[in-house]
Amino acid sequence: MNIDLTLREAIQHQLQNLFGKQAEHLQIQPTNPEFEGSHTLVCFSLTKISGKNPEETAKRIGEALVQQNSIVAGFNVVKGFLNLIIKDNAWLQVLQQLAGKTQYGQLPKNGKEIMIEYSSPNTNKPLHLGHLRNNFLGWSVAEIYKANGYKVHKVQIINDRGIHICKSMAAWKLYGNGETPKTSGIKGDHLVGKYYVVFDKQHKIQMQALISKGLTEEEAQKQTPIMREAIDMLRKWEYRDPDTLQLWKTMNAWVYAGFDETYKKMGVDFDKLYYESNTFLLGKEQVITGLEKGVFFKKEDGSVWVDLTPDGLDQKVLLRSDGTSVYMTQDIGTAILRFHDFPNIEGQVYTVGNEQEYHFKVLFLILQKLGYDWAKQCYHLSYGMVDLPTGKMKSREGTVVDADDLIAEMVAEAKTQTLELGKTDELSQEEAEQLFQMIGLGALKFFLLKVDPKKRMLFDPNESIQLQGFTGPFIQYTHARIQAILRKANQLSIEINTNKIGEVTQLEPIEKTLIFVLSNFENKLAEAAKDYSPAIIANYVYEVAKTYNQFYQTISIFQEADQVKLQLRIVVSKLVAHVLKKSMHILGIQVPERM
């Protein structure tokens, strides 16, 4: 039984009977916890149909539903809000239906395809805290769409070329003395990131020397020996200089090995990788074609631009005066290549920080001007930055919060707290280490995903790891508690017959609330896909866990003498465990059997 649908049909029927007309739209929402009921009909907009005030309208509809509808047991009116109380047997039917769905939370395949891009790092530094939010967000959105029946292609564009890459290369060439990950014992991406920091420090020193000789700051920025070395490397790379290419390949290989290790720790994966070094040429071809068609224009210095001022934006350079490309150039090529590789996708979702909102407005508009109608199907999943008590991260200055270090710290803290609470007494050493990993990474992921992606957030490691409150470990602990209940039910040989639970004559209020919350799972999945927001699932799964703990504290399970009620409570517990596990999987988080 779909209570929402049944209610809507019944309300429309009564509107027709009472007032001779149905509503174009019914606003039904969860009842405020202060009042009895589960569904609330907002009646203010219905006064046009009834010709009566909101309270009288609500009262007339409520009386009619109780008299003539099989699922409404009672009602109360608060101003223009009609709070409806659903009959117990209706909730029992809902529970039986949900318990019978082995794939509850996985909608049938709908034949649609979508592409989700996330991570998309630069190969001049390791992944950091901001990348963690990006990867967790993109991966989870992909899983949300899978749960909604889509075929999902998880991809990333690796920004493996450009002046920022050449900065690390130039610094290593000048100051590296042949250092490698093997000789230094430093993880490859960290080693390359080290030389990105070296570049910045040396660049500043050299700038001051030039400024002291009379150059302006702007002139000095371009004229330092190390900057000129990096710019020269970029030109050589684009003209395929063998030595420059070899150094580029070598240092990028160090970075890729480091990235792979970090992705494995994070628990994220990709179906296909795109490389800027491959896609920028296609982008350059498109720019030249657009220039020939008059979509773009060339300035006196030879640089190529697009004028978007008629569209309320600005002019944007697409090719520099020396013929080298910019980020926008490769993004044009990448977008076109992806729709060529996957012609059935309904759209591309770009998971990129909100500081790039203007960039994507420009990108999508340029693609439309080039004649690609599918550009309207592209979406920028914009998210806010992650702050720490110490302030914003700055990778050039070497103060970035490293992803590897943060994951290790979270796992170490999970170990400390779990051992203090004595939660590993029944576990082997190997099982305990797996639990520490599960809790530490789960705490990190949940904290970063529970906030609306659009919002800037403050990450508090200590708060995230707590076993109580709006945290991943709280939900993990709830799942482990339920598994202990189910193991005990198995030891007691309690046989479950979902048909029998329909014989229960009266449900406790918390049981009805819990069934109602569980019945919302697939609605929340649809809502999360619509908004590209794992935060909706995080908030939902917390509500499920919190409501179950209220159920657990309020109602006896194994001391219940009525065997049918006992079975019902085991069924409810099992269904909650399923929803917790499925929801947390969508967030990329594992849940333990014991904790």
What residue has token string 């000129």?
Answer: 228
pLDDT category, 392, cuts 50, 70, 90? very low
List, as one string, the DSSP characters of 439-489. Answer: HHHHHHHHHHHSS-TTS-EE--HHHHT-SSSSSHHHHHHHHHHHHHHHHHH
Rounded to an integer, the average pLDDT of 109-130 is 95
Of 381, 356, 378, 349, the residue nearest 365 (C-alpha):
378
- Specify the DSSP element, H or E, that contains 378: strand 378-383
Burial class (CB in 10 A: 0-12, 13-18, 19+), 356: middle
Alpha-helical segments (H) within 316-402: 327-341, 357-369
The answer to whether domain 3-86 has CATH 3.30.1360.70 is: yes
Two structure tokens written together for 143: 């899983």
* Residues 419 and 387: beta-carbon distance below 8 Å: no
Helix (H, G, I), strand (E, B) or coil at 275: strand
Helix (H, G, I), strand (E, B) or coil at 104: coil
Neighbour tally for 554: CB within 10 Å:
11
Alpha-helical segments (H) within 157-296: 163-175, 181-184, 188-211, 217-223, 225-238, 242-266, 276-292
Rounded to an integer, the average pLDDT of 222-246 is 95
pLDDT at 394: 46
- Helices then strands, counting H and E runs in the chain, come out as 22, 14
Q: Which amino acid is at 411?
A: V
Two structure tokens written together for 410: 């979270």
Give the residue, 460 or 21, on which the prediction is more confident: 21
Q: Which amino acid is at 568?
A: L
Two structure tokens written together for 584: 């947390």
Q: Give span(s): CATH 3.30.1360.70, the chain.
A: 3-86
pLDDT at 24: 94
- Rg (alpha carbons) of the chain, rounded to whole number: 29
* Residues 187 and 261: beta-carbon distance below 8 Å: yes
Contacts of 335 (CB under 8 A, 6+ apart): 348, 363, 367, 372, 375, 378
pLDDT at 396: 44
Rounded to an integer, the average pLDDT of 438-452 is 97
pLDDT category, 462, cuts 50, 70, 90? confident
Instruction: Give the Å distances, CA to CA, from 177 to 163, 172, 174, 380.
Output: 22, 8, 8, 42
Please name every residue paired with 37 in a beta bridge, in sequence order, or none if there are none: none
Of 512, 594, 545, the residue nearest 87 (C-alpha):
512
Q: State the average pLDDT for the chain.
A: 94
- At 66-97, the pLDDT tens digits run 998 789 999 999 999 999 999 999 999 999 99
Rounded to an integer, the average pLDDT of 513-538 is 97
pLDDT category, 181, cuts 50, 70, 90? very high
- Specify the DSSP element, H or E, that contains 74: strand 72-78
- At 190-207, the pLDDT tens digits run 999 999 999 999 999 999
Q: CB-side exposure of 591: number of CA atoms within 13 Å?
A: 27
Q: What order do you get walking across the sheet with 272-275 strand by strand?
A: 272-275, 151-158, 113-117, 345-353, 378-383
| Strands 81-86 and 72-78, sheet pairing | antiparallel
Q: What order do you get walking across the sheet with 39-42 strand by strand?
A: 28-30, 39-42, 81-86, 72-78
* Residues 168 and 199: beta-carbon distance below 8 Å: yes
Q: How far apart are CA 137 and CA 131, in angstroms?
A: 10
Two structure tokens written together for 246: 């070899």
Q: How far apart are CA 594 and CA 327, in angstroms?
A: 48
Q: Is pLDDT at 399 greater than 60 in this prediction?
A: no
DSSP 353: E
pLDDT category, 393, cuts 50, 70, 90? very low
**Hey, what's the torsion of the CAs at 438, 439, 441, 444, to 10 degrees?**
160
Two structure tokens written together for 200: 């910045």
Q: Is pLDDT at 277 greater than 50 in this prediction?
A: yes
- Specify the DSSP element, H or E, that contains 318: strand 315-319
* Residues 157 and 117: beta-carbon distance below 8 Å: yes
Rounded to an integer, the average pLDDT of 139-143 is 98
pLDDT at 99: 94
What residue has token string 């993109």?
Answer: 138
- At 302-358, the pLDDT tens digits run 999 999 999 999 999 999 998 888 889 999 999 999 999 999 999 999 999 999 999
pLDDT at 397: 44
Q: Which amino acid is at 244?
A: T
Largest CA distance in the chain: 93
The answer to whether domain 403-586 has CATH 1.10.730.10 is: yes
- At 470-499, the pLDDT tens digits run 999 999 999 999 999 999 999 999 988 888
Report the chain's terminal Cα–Cα distance, integer Å.
35
Of 278, 369, 288, 280, the residue nearest 327 (C-alpha):
280
Q: How far apart are CA 486 and CA 200, in angstroms?
A: 58
Q: How far apart are CA 407 and CA 430, in angstroms?
A: 19
Two structure tokens written together for 274: 């795109």
Q: Give span(s): CATH 1.10.730.10, the chain.
A: 403-586
Q: How far apart are CA 30 and CA 418, in angstroms?
A: 37
- Specify the DSSP element, H or E, that contains 273: strand 272-275
Q: Is pLDDT at 539 greater than 50 in this prediction?
A: yes
Two structure tokens written together for 116: 């989700």
Two structure tokens written together for 382: 């914009």
Rounded (5°) CA angle 128-419-547: 80
Q: How far apart are CA 359 and CA 380, in angstroms?
A: 10
Instruction: Give the Å distances, CA to CA, from 560 to 487, 573, 577.
Output: 17, 15, 21
Q: CB-side exposure of 369: number of CA atoms within 13 Å?
A: 21
Q: How far apart are CA 417 and CA 420, in angstroms?
A: 5
* Residues 471 and 464: beta-carbon distance below 8 Å: yes
